[in-house]
Structure 1
Amino acid sequence: MVSKIFIITGTSGAGKDSVIEKIKDKNLEFEWVKTTVSRPMREGESQGNPYYFVTPEEFQNKINRGEMIEHALVYGKYYGGEKEEIERCLATKKPVIWKVDIQGVPTIKKHYPDAVCIFISAPSFEALEKRIRGRAKDDEETIRKRMKAAKEEMKDANINPLYDHVVVNEEDRLAETAGKVTKIIQESFKEPRNTGCA
């Protein structure tokens, strides 16, 4: 079996992380890409769990050395996927799941044309704002920025050719959403592919 990359992306507040955690609870044979980030560790985190943590200077050096497949500056912090990490995941021959910021999708698709992109969306702008405000960790200016960007991203989701699937994360239906994403991954992984690079 040849490995294949599945990109999970979506707007801020759509519930990507919650969907991913629900899928992980199923203990399926998926390989999860660990993102490299330039922010400090938070309580309960460790190196490699859930990210690889580096300083902003180290991240910039990795970019300069060409070690990053993709990277994005998200609210002042760098996030990205390293070539070495992607190669490790692909070598497992399992479905490779890669959560990325929307900015990184075009670059990944360029490197891995066979990658399947799943966009997670909120059911409405109102629900999105409720979720973002419910985090209680952002100031009003940050909330406004997130909302403005998220609205544009949601409008674009259904017409952007880079997104192979758009899955709406309905209120109080997290398990159902995770089930839909899991089904997409499992069914797409079984399909014949033309190349073995992704």
Structure 2
Amino acid sequence: MMQVISTKSGATTKECPPTGKLIILTGPSGVGKGTLMRSLLQRHPQLHYSVSVTTRSPRPGETNGKDYYFVSRREFEELVAAGELLEWAEFAGNYYGTPREAVMNQIRSGKRVVLEIELKGARQIHTCYPSALSIFILPPSMSELEKRIRGRAQDSDEAIARRLRCAQEEINAADEFDIQIVNDDFESALNSIEAAILS
């Protein structure tokens, strides 16, 4: 696998002035972080959502440039080589990454920027930007998580098993994050995220 690109130099107050804020939202696949994010943005349009780049295929209803920027593996690797991603990781056979300049411009302008990213990417951001607020979304249980993933009817049994193995590893890392929120009751989880981000 390619080497991770990160920006430890020059990634402090010069790029992240105190007027803006970087917020990381992560959790295992199927935990509901995407649905929580959409509801959060509907309630608080002043928040800036950073659209990630991915090599995976669009799911039904997803729009290029709104949900993700969908690119080929070659295009993604060119972005990595050019240093144009703030963070990136490979997950379930696909690459995911965050465009650097779009995020930094929003933070410089004083916006609260929310990244919905995978664990590996969240760790990269935390290393480069320790002042970022990090939130981990937990499922009520592994059995409930499996039920949610199966309910999407988008993955084979093999892919589901792989996602669940990955999920357990990610859940084991939840203590690395500033705040852990269990998505048992949707409204309660959303209110907890609001309180953390807007306080």
Asked if structure 1 preserves the Cα contact closer than 8 Å seen for 2:25 and 2:134, the reply is yes
The structural deviation recorded for 1:43 is: 4.8
Match of residue 37 from structure 1: 54
The structural deviation recorded for 1:40 is: 4.0
Match of residue 167 from structure 1: 181
Tell me whether 1:96 sits opposite 2:113 in the alignment: yes
Match of residue 134 from structure 2: 117
Measure, in 2, the Cα distance between the counterparts of 1:40 and 1:146. 17
Match of residue 194 from structure 2: 182
Where does 1:54-73 land on structure 2 (aligned, <5 Å)? 54-73=71-90
Measure, in 2, the Cα distance between the counterparts of 1:70 and 1:47. 20
Describe the shift of the 1:44–1:103 C-alpha distance in structure 2 as closer, same or farther (beyond 3 A). Answer: same
Measure, in 1, the Cα distance between the counterparts of 2:107 and 2:54. 21
Asked if structure 1 preserves the Cα contact closer than 8 Å seen for 2:27 and 2:118, the reply is yes
Measure, in 2, the Cα distance between the counterparts of 1:148 and 1:43. 25
Match of residue 19 from structure 1: 36
Percent of paired sites with the same residue: 34
Match of residue 134 from structure 1: 151
TM-score by length of 2: 0.85
Amino acid in structure 2 at the alignment position of 1:62? L
Amino acid in structure 2 at the alignment position of 1:176? S
Measure, in 1, the Cα distance between the counterparts of 2:91 and 2:42. 27
The structural deviation recorded for 1:90 is: 1.2
Amino acid in structure 1 at the alignment position of 2:178? D
- Which has the larger displacement, 41-50 or 58-67? 41-50
Describe the shift of the 1:44–1:143 C-alpha distance in structure 2 as closer, same or farther (beyond 3 A). Answer: closer
Measure, in 2, the Cα distance between the counterparts of 1:34 and 1:175. 24
Match of residue 51 from structure 1: 68
Describe the shift of the 1:40–1:138 C-alpha distance in structure 2 as closer, same or farther (beyond 3 A). Answer: closer
The structural deviation recorded for 1:129 is: 1.3
Question: What are the Cα deviations for residues 65-87 of structure 1, in whole angstroms up to 9, with x where unaligned?
Answer: 11111111112211101211212
Measure, in 2, the Cα distance between the counterparts of 1:155 and 1:111. 22
Tell me whether 1:105 sits opposite 2:122 in the alignment: yes
Measure, in 2, the Cα distance between the counterparts of 1:148 and 1:46. 29
TM-score by length of 1: 0.85
Question: What are the Cα deviations for residues 123-153 of structure 1, in whole angstroms up to 9, with x where unaligned?
Answer: 1111111111111111111111111121232
Question: What are the Cα deviations for residues 52-109 of structure 1, in whole angstroms up to 9, with x where unaligned?
Answer: 2222111101111111111111122111012112123213312111110111112111
Unmatched segments (≥5 aa) in structure 1: 188-198
Amino acid in structure 1 at the alignment position of 2:72? T
Which secondary structure state, in structure 1, belongs to the residue aligned with residue 22 of structure 2? strand
Which secondary structure state, in structure 2, belongs to the residue aligned with residue 166 of structure 1? strand
The structural deviation recorded for 1:155 is: 2.9
